[in-house]
Amino acid sequence: MNDQLFKKIDITVNGRHRTLFIDQRKSLLEVLRKDLGLTGSKEGCGVGECGACSVIVDDVLVDSCIYLAVWADGKTIRTIEGESRDGKLTPVQQAYVDEGAVQCGFCTPGFVMATTSFVEKNNGQPVTEDQIRKSHAGNLCRCTGYQNILNAVETSMEACACKSKEKKE
């Protein structure tokens, strides 16, 4: 084994600090799935085109299949597994259920993370359908059809806008 290929990294995944010794050639997706057992993010295309592997790294949505794990050293990573709390779905996850934006489910974790990132960046501000489409252009679905996904994003935006208003009052 070539020790020069391995590097120690410190990451925080879903609120939990982890120290790992990893092969520097591994993608973040490989580390999440194989080393940490977080299998929610999926490998679809392996080249950053489908979005099935989308995670949030330091508040930026990334395709974890083309993001080297060593780049995550010192960063905070959020995966689909860390979104719900005590078995309660987030407003984004609930919107996907309510709007029927799920069929086979393979792409759903990536879409949910893309929507979460979009909702957090827009923080309850009004958005257009064009903005929603552009923000989710890196995520592909083969079976649902995009209208229900667009509906889920809009419902998520409304739910989060209501929560923002509740906090202010």
- Which residue, 38, 55, 82, sits at the end of a domain? 82
Q: What is the pLDDT of residue 103?
A: 87
Task: Print the domain residue range for 111.
Answer: 91-168
Per the document, the length of the chain is: 169
| Model pTM score | 0.92
Q: What is the pLDDT of residue 162?
A: 55
Q: What is the pLDDT of residue 8?
A: 97
Quote the DSSP letter at residue 26: -
Q: What is the block-wise mean pLDDT of the chain (169 residues), using blocks of 10 residues?
A: 86 98 97 98 96 98 98 98 94 95 93 97 89 95 88 91 53
- Which residue, 82, 103, 130, sits at the end of a domain? 82
Asked if residue 152 lies in contact with residue 91, where contact means CB atoms within 8 angstroms, the answer is: no
CATH number at residue 21: 3.10.20.30
Q: What is the pLDDT of residue 168?
A: 52
- Which residue, 49, 64, 82, sits at the end of a domain? 82
Residues 73 and 98 in one domain: no
Q: What is the pLDDT of residue 54?
A: 98
